[in-house]
Structure 1
Amino acid sequence: MKFKIAILFFWFSLNCWGQKQFEVFFDFNKDFPNQSSILSLNEWIANNKAIEITRLLGFCDSIDTKDYNKNLALRRIESVRELLDKSGLKFNKNLDKIAYGKEFKQSKIQAENRRVTIFYTEIVKEPIESAFSKQIRNSKVGETIKLPNIYFFNNSARIVPKSESSLYDLLCAMQENPKLKIEIQGHICCQMVNDFNNISTARARAIYNYLLRNKIDRKRMSFKGYGVLKPIHKIPEQNQTEEDENRRVEILILEN
């Protein structure tokens, strides 16, 4: 019998490897957690919403018969399961619920034997790839891509706050594609001859500096201002939309 118990616990130790656990305690002959454990359980649930319950093990103290204790352990498991379920926690579809009567190594402190052990794993959510990051990943060498929703204050290289999410998308694309090398290209609108204040270069440099501050290797990127040399729409533009589309920052894919 002792040999079988040893095998059983060895099997559990293998299957619980890498899992975390939390213990709920009960008063003598009770099948609902004691008040102290309820408070601890509620706090644990509040701090562990992104988990999956994989196993519930129920235990009793050494008092009374093995069969009585096993039945009590089953009821303890069920009360804990109901509490977890009401809290909205996720259960593994192959959830194990195992009750022990007396056939386990008991603590000399009886209160420590009256428990349910919750085994769980953390749910790791896959990051959602943005449309821009996906576009970058699928781009070819020599392809030019406009940075969406990148705006600057009038006649300056200061990026407006609402553009921060687009900058972050570019940063993520650079982080997720370590082989990616780019040229950041600045363009302006509304001038017939030249970029007298070199605003297009300053704006391209602003994007470059943002990536540099966020640990992107300078060897993977360069910047250049093209002024009005590469307009999308003929200058002078006919409306505000054409001006906005000419006033842009693009990236040229050098390696990917």
Structure 2
Amino acid sequence: MKKWYLLLVLCGNAIFAQNNFDVFFDFNKDIPNQTAMLTLKNWMSEHKKFVVTKLYGYCDSVDNSSYNKELAARRINSVLNLLKENEIAISPAIELIPLGKDFKLSKIQAENRKVTIVAQEIPKPVEIKKTEEPQKLSQQVKSAKPGDIIKLQNINFLNNSDKLVEKSKPVLDSLLCVMNENPKLKIEIQGHICCSTVGDVRDVSTLRAKAVYVFLLRKKIARTRLTFKGYGTTRPKFPIPEKNDEEEDENRRVEIKILEK
């Protein structure tokens, strides 16, 4: 039940189909009449993907307000129990509202003896697509031989610094998985920068390679399996200055060199 409530909270700003349904009662009764039972059963069978958020209880104009509210509350509980017995999702924050005869009464008394079910369609869970990056990197390492160099895709840092941006974390996790899957694997982490015609003045490429190195050390990968080195602008894939953003991205990269497997 909690998972439905969580989905409703997470999707509170979205619009989902709402359904109101009336369950009718005979005079002074707190159990739905036979006809109402049949229609309720049909409604429940067709609304398995709805969650009940409110139940309103009503009575006719006979008797006093206090008694009618008490009767309305019993009618609400009767319907609530039927919903639970038929495994209809009930919101933990459900509102149970006995109005008795404190509402705009119909001239037809039978129409006032009811409980109104307010239900909302359960939103479909958002499908999160699995990234192919971990599998791709694992396959690249598996087919590589000592001396081969593999680029780590989507590794990004704050401008001119060694601070990794949040979206780089899945790539680091992929590399960690590869290191754990291949206990004999030894690598050199290589940093490269783009754009600078005067070289790596602040040695940013080394700092970035070290950031990846430190991440793996903190995740319990043995120091003996890791080295790091910054190559600055000495190994560009495209001439510097680059012609466009794509060439800059190719030059500004972190790679791993397979040392041993």
Taking structure 1 as the reference length, what is the TM-score of the superposition?
0.50
Taking structure 2 as the reference length, what is the TM-score of the superposition?
0.49
Task: Kindly name which structure, 1 or 2, has the bigger radius of gyration based on alpha carbons.
Answer: 2
